[in-house]
């Protein structure tokens, strides 16, 4: 089965390389694609956070992995791709929860988006408390270690 998707928006920021870490000071603009009407953003300012679903368009299909050590770190255990968040995924789809800073016309200004300039956005959804995890979030030690500099 083939699934075809078209971008609904594009990311604009100063980050041009898909590198790990130090995303905390990156402010991104999400600009609607020409085919999407401005009123698609109607009411979005009422939300503090959004989920951005985007496509890793710079990923090389030859780099897809199904298991390995996160970031190639020998101190981390071998884990499957679905226990990692890396870009070299079978379907090259990214997901990030962002803070909405400002909505103006056809663009959103957001913080905590780890997508590079020009990244195609596939969908935008508001974060609602009722869709957030119930109970404590559990993760392995290596995930906490791996993320220590990500949002700095």
Predicted pLDDT of residue 95: 98
Predicted pLDDT of residue 20: 84
Predicted pLDDT of residue 22: 78
3-state helix, strand, coil in the chain (%, to 5): 15, 30, 55
Per DSSP, 133 falls in state P
Confidence (pTM): 0.94
Beta bridge partners of 28: 110
Q: Residue 128: exposed, middle, or buried by beta-carbon count in 10 A (0-12, 13-18, 19+)?
A: exposed
Residue 141 parent element (H or E): helix 141-146
Q: Could you give the angle at the alpha carbon of 143 between the alpha carbons of 81 and 118, nearest 5°?
A: 65
What the block records as the tokens of 3 is: 């699934």
Predicted pLDDT of residue 17: 87
Identify the CATH assignment for 9-146 out of 3.40.50.300, 2.30.30.60, 1.20.1510.10, 2.40.30.70: 2.40.30.70
Predicted pLDDT of residue 19: 80
Which of 18, 27, 17, 48 shows the shortest CA–CA distance to 113?
Answer: 27
Predicted pLDDT of residue 114: 95
**One pLDDT digit (tens) per residue for the chain, 152 residues:** 999 999 999 999 999 988 888 798 999 999 999 999 999 999 999 999 999 999 999 999 999 999 999 999 999 999 999 999 999 999 999 999 999 999 999 999 999 999 999 999 999 999 999 999 999 999 999 999 999 999 88
């Amino acid at each position: 089965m083939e699934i075809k998707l078209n971008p609904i928006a594009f990311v604009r920021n100063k980050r041009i390389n898909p590198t790990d870490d130090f995303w905390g000071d990156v402010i991104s603009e999400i600009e609607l694609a020409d085919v999407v009407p401005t009123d698609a953003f109607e009411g979005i300012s009422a939300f503090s956070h959004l989920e951005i679903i985007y496509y890793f368009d710079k990923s090389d299909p030859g780099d897809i992995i199904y298991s390995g050590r996160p970031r190639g770190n020998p101190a981390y255990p071998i884990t499957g791709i679905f226990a990692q968040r890396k870009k070299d995924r079978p379907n090259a789809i990214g997901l990030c929860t962002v803070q909405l800073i400002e909505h103006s016309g056809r663009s959103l200004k957001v913080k905590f988006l780890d997508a590079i300039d020009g990244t195609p956005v596939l969908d935008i959804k508001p974060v609602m408390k009722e869709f957030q995890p119930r109970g404590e979030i559990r993760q392995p030690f290596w995930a906490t270690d791996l993320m220590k500099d990500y949002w700095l």
